[in-house]
Chain A
Amino acid sequence: MRIVTRRDFLKGASSLGVAALGGRAIDAIGQQSVLRVGVVHQFPIGEVGWETQHALGWKAMEAAFPGKVKTTVVTDVVQAQDAERVFRDLASQGHKLIFGTTFSQMAPMLKVARAMPGTTFECCAAITTSKNMGAFEARNYEASYLGGVIAGRMTKSNVLGWVGAFPVPQVVWRLNGFLIGARSVNPNVTCNVIWINTWNDPAKEKDAVNALISQGADVLAGSPNTPVQGIAAEERGAWSVGNCSDFSKYVTKRQLTGDILDWNSAYVEAARDVMAGTWKSQSRWRGLGEGGYCRMAPYNAAIPGDVVADVAKREKDIVAGKLKVFAGPLKDRDGKQRVAAGAVLPDNDVRSISWVVDGVKGAFPKS
């Protein structure tokens, strides 16, 4: 594995292009059976957060096929137009499997995939696929539902707090899952929501958490990639449910649990199928369970045993398909029935969800 920043990469790809070409030729002859994999990160890989979970994924892939895959990782490809160039370069350098790690890389990847039919592409959070480009996404509302069940049982004020980055479907379905879970055990629960309209302004996250706590929320959750919300909640003596990575190292006392993204099987299976020649373009959308894309962070010791047992049972039911998070009857915040009793919201409607369930308080932007 080699981590290069965008600058290193472009330098290597352009000015040293000839030398690199020579090296590649030898590479190809010498190691016929090695699958070269490219991974493009939008931001640097930190200790926790979105990029980190993807890094765990490709590291698991390297560990699963020792000596058989060689990964080139490019970080800090912030802009979509840069991503296109990086994808193209990776493909032309002989990487046969290329991963995109974020929604905004979907459009450039589709373009490059069309031009490079011999290369397999996989894009996380993409909503479109093509002949040689697959997609993978986490049904993490299943995990946030379980977090909600715990939150609903642990809250004393019956007010939960949610700090959202942007009201995009990925965040909205987690919010809905969280509240559906909480209200399934405690119908009196409401959830105050603050949208901060930014992915990376930790100061604003903290302000929003403090505002929610001052308004009575005693369990905080949301869409942070950082432990900031949990830390801020802990300072004020409130519980938090983490997201993305396990933050218990930072939020040592008052993190109840968290829904963790786990892309290991996405990376491992894609590499396996490409090597075996059985890769097919598909949109993989998985939740909890073996080989799934999300799982729960360790439960806080303060959670009563019967709650943990209840959550474990629900988790089993979800994995077995017996429990559906978006099962009717579901009303939205304005009282309009969205899912009839006995029905389940179809996957396509979940993926484009733009309404919030009954019990959510706070502004919700129309889309």
Chain B
Amino acid sequence: MTDAIVPVLIATLGAGTPLIFAALGELVTEKSGVLNLGVEGMMLVGAIVAFITTSATASLWLGVAAGCLAGAAMALLFAFATLTMQANQVAAGLALAIFGTGVSAFIGKNYVGVALQSPPASDASFASAIPVVGPLLHALHPLVYLSWLLFAGVSAFLYRSRLGLVLRAVGESPDSAHAIGHPVIRVRYLATLFGGAMAGVAGAYLSLVYAPLWLEGMTAGRGWIALALVVFATWRPARAVFGAYLFGGITISQFFAQGAGIPFASQAMSALPYLATIIVLVLISRNPVMIRQNAPVSLGKPFHATV
């Protein structure tokens, strides 16, 4: 039994990881009241910049760092347009997604189909001594652990720290936050940059660890999934992580089901992760009070300091 489940679990953890990075990043951004729909674009730019860096330096971590910075740079564009220039966030976010898709294809032109010569190996050998969980932990990439750390960090930051409280206040009522002296625009800038950086890491994970190779549009809609996860998880980190693993788990399970010869149309199976994730998250989050309490009230609304 464990023989059958362990590979599914390992694959699920791998498949959920990019979604966790992107969704938690976006969650922090949205909690500050900024709706950045450009996650897909930021992920793609992160993916190609990370890929180029790693293929030049043969260092996984330099690649991840570069992807992180590239994602943040994309977010900076968005932040400048929407926070400084007060452009419409929805329009600017969509533009960012399209722009990111195009610009990543452009800079990645010479890297299409090029595989990294030796995929950077994971190094978690310390774990393999533990029985049962050992092989599981050993098979996981350090970035998977990092995504767990990110989850712990984001939860602690949002709900256990003063800065997190400020960020949430900015997202709820920027006017009140401004009135008591909090730098609304600066907080929103930082939250947006953080979201971009995490989207960049998510992209880097895809192109460096998961695939590992660069293809135009290789995120294949994961940025949009991450966005949806944030909403359907009612802006709560634990639920976003749960949703990410649910999505990954169903994706993987349907592969195992197909491979095992279960006669069910593969097209329907491919649609299953999207349907199931949304249905489950909507069901567990359907309490309207909860939604109202967790949704950032000023989401997507520009802030203009009047005083």
Contact = CB atoms under 8 A, between A and B. Distances in A.
Contacts of B261: 192, 361-363
B269 A201 contact: no
A198 interface: yes
Contact of A76 (B105, B255, B259, B269): B105
Contacts of B117: 250
B216 A227 contact: no
Interface in A326-367: 361-366
Of A203, A207, A235, A366, chain B has the most CB atoms within 10 Å of the CB of A203
Contacts of A366: 265
Interface stretch (B63-71, B129-137, B205-213): B205-213
B142 interface: no
A70 to B, nearest CB: 23
Contacts of A194: 255, 258-259, 266
Given A203-B206, A207-B255, A226 B113 contact: yes
Given A44-B216, A203-B210, A226-B213, A49 B112 contact: yes
A214 interface: yes
Interface in A39-57: 43-49, 52
B37 interface: no
B270 A197 contact: yes
A363 to B, nearest CB: 5
Contact size range, B: 35 or more
A321 to B, nearest CB: 35
A46 B265 CA distance: 33
B7 interface: yes
B113 to A, nearest CB: 3
Interface in B211-264: 211-213, 215-218, 220, 251-252, 255-256, 258-264
Nearest to A209: B255
Contacts of A161: 259
B266 A215 contact: no
A102 interface: no
Interface in A186-214: 192-198, 200-204, 206-208, 210-212, 214
Nearest to B263: A363
A215 B259 CA distance: 7
A366 to B, nearest CB: 8
B15 interface: yes
Contacts, number: 131
Contact of B114 (A46, A195, A210, A362): A46
Contacts of A52: 113
B304 interface: no
A194 B255 CA distance: 6
Contact of A362 (B8, B11, B252, B259): B259
A193 B256 CA distance: 10
Contacts of B286: none
B8 to A, nearest CB: 8
Given A197-B267, A203-B218, A215-B256, A363 B113 contact: no
B266 A363 contact: yes
Q: At the interface, is chain A mostly helix, strand, loop or mixed?
A: loop
Nearest to B222: A203
A202 B215 contact: yes
Given A195-B266, A204-B251, A225-B113, A363 B215 contact: no
A76 B105 CA distance: 10
Residue from B252, B261, B262, B264 having most chain A Cβ neighbours under 10 A: B261
A231 B256 CA distance: 19
A44 B105 contact: yes
B220 A204 contact: yes
Contacts of A193: 258-259
A43 B216 contact: yes
A231 B216 contact: no
A46 B213 CA distance: 12
A364 B105 CA distance: 33
Given A47-B112, A196-B270, A365-B266, A203 B15 contact: yes
B11 A192 contact: no
B259 A202 contact: no
Interface in B250-307: 251-252, 255-256, 258-267, 269-270
A61 B105 CA distance: 28
Interface string B89-116: 0000000000000000100010111110
Given A198-B220, A200-B220, A363 B213 contact: no
B112 A211 contact: no
B119 interface: yes
Given A47-B113, A201-B218, A361-B261, A207 B11 contact: yes
A47 B211 CA distance: 16
Given A76-B105, A202-B213, A202-B215, A207 B251 contact: yes
Contacts of B255: 194, 196, 207-208, 211-212
A112 B80 CA distance: 45
Contact of A211 (B11, B206, B262, B266): B11
A228 interface: yes
B42 to A, nearest CB: 17
A361 to B, nearest CB: 4
B112 A44 contact: yes
Contact of A200 (B215, B251, B252, B263): B215
A231 B119 contact: yes
Nearest to A78: B216
Nearest to A192: B259
Closest CB pairs A-B (n = 4): A46-B113, A46-B112, A361-B261, A214-B7
Given A44-B216, A197-B267, A200-B220, 5 more contacts: A193-B259, A202-B215, A208-B259, A215-B260, A363-B261
25 contacts: A43-B216, A46-B112, A46-B114, A47-B112, A47-B114, A76-B105, A193-B258, A195-B266, A195-B270, A197-B266, A197-B267, A200-B216, A201-B220, A202-B211, A203-B18, A203-B218, A211-B258, A214-B7, A214-B8, A226-B213, A250-B115, A362-B259, A362-B260, A363-B262, A364-B266
